């Protein structure tokens, strides 16, 4: 396979993933939750959003660590932090899908300004989490290939958006968790 063919294969993969993930997540809202689960199992599944917040929060700190590492010219540590952040984001995705396939949607119960703040954060989180997928994958790929100039140029866009998405993921959990039907 030539270099051009490899580049094209990577681009096809990234764009396929970038389209497939948001479509799959959107479909979750049209698929009824699993019906054959016991109430005990359903209750236990509400640990997943807390785990998801942990995945996002830890990815947030990995991204901070990655920035510090590269500012100190520690490429192996920078790469390790980014690999962990990407892995945590993938784990988040699997856990998020599992949770939404098995439970009813939770509606935010706050009112007034809190509701406005929640939906502003949620909508920006959703929109940016969709857009960040190809950015993260292309940035990570360029870093692995040591295409430093291209990696750095794209990372300047990717990093703050990815950081925002991980932070707002935790905020969304923190704001909606009081309304989960567990207890």
Domain extents for the chain? 3-24+43-179
Query: Which fold, 3-24+43-179?
Result: 1.20.120
Tokens of 4: 């051009």
CA 108/CA 125 separation, integer angstroms: 15
8-state DSSP, 31: S
Residue-wise pLDDT for 13-63, tens only, equals 999 999 999 999 999 888 888 888 888 888 889 999 999 999 999 999 999
Question: Could you list the pLDDT tens digit for every one of the 183 residues in the chain?
Answer: 888 888 889 899 999 999 999 999 999 888 888 888 888 888 889 999 999 999 999 999 999 999 999 999 999 999 999 999 999 999 999 999 999 999 888 999 999 999 999 999 999 999 999 999 999 999 999 999 999 999 999 999 999 999 999 999 999 999 999 999 875
Q: How many other CB atoms are there within 10 angstroms of residue 23's CB atom?
A: 9
| 72-79: long-range pairs with CB below 8 Å, 24+ | 79/143, 79/144
pLDDT score at 42 = 83
Q: How far is CA 77 from each of CA 47, 50, 81, 160, rounded to the nearest angstrom? A: 31, 28, 6, 19
Q: What is the pTM of this model?
A: 0.91
Sole residue written with tokens 């993969």:
13
Give the distance, in angstroms, between the CA of residue 174 and the centroid of all CA atoms in the same chain: 16
Residue 183's pLDDT is what? 52
CB 49 within 8 A of CB 180: yes
């Amino acid at each position: 396979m030539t270099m051009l063919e490899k580049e094209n294969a990577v681009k096809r993969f990234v764009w396929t993933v970038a389209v497939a993930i948001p479509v799959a997540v959107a479909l979750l809202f049209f698929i009824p939750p699993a019906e054959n689960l016991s109430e005990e199992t359903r209750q236990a599944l509400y640990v997943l959003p807390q785990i998801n917040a942990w995945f996002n929060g830890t990815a947030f700190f990995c991204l901070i660590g990655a920035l510090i590492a590269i500012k100190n010219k520690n490429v192996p540590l920078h790469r390790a932090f980014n690999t962990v952040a990407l892995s945590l984001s993938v784990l988040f995705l699997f856990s998020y899908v599992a949770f939404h396939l098995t439970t009813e949607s939770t509606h935010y119960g706050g009112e007034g300004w809190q509701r406005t703040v929640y939906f502003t954060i949620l909508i920006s989180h959703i929109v940016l989490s969709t857009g960040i997928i190809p950015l993260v994958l292309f940035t990570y790929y360029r870093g692995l290939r040591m295409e430093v100039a291209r990696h750095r140029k794209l990372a300047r866009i990717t990093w703050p958006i990815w950081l925002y998405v991980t932070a707002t993921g935790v905020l969304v959990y923190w704001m909606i968790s009081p309304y989960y039907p567990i207890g």
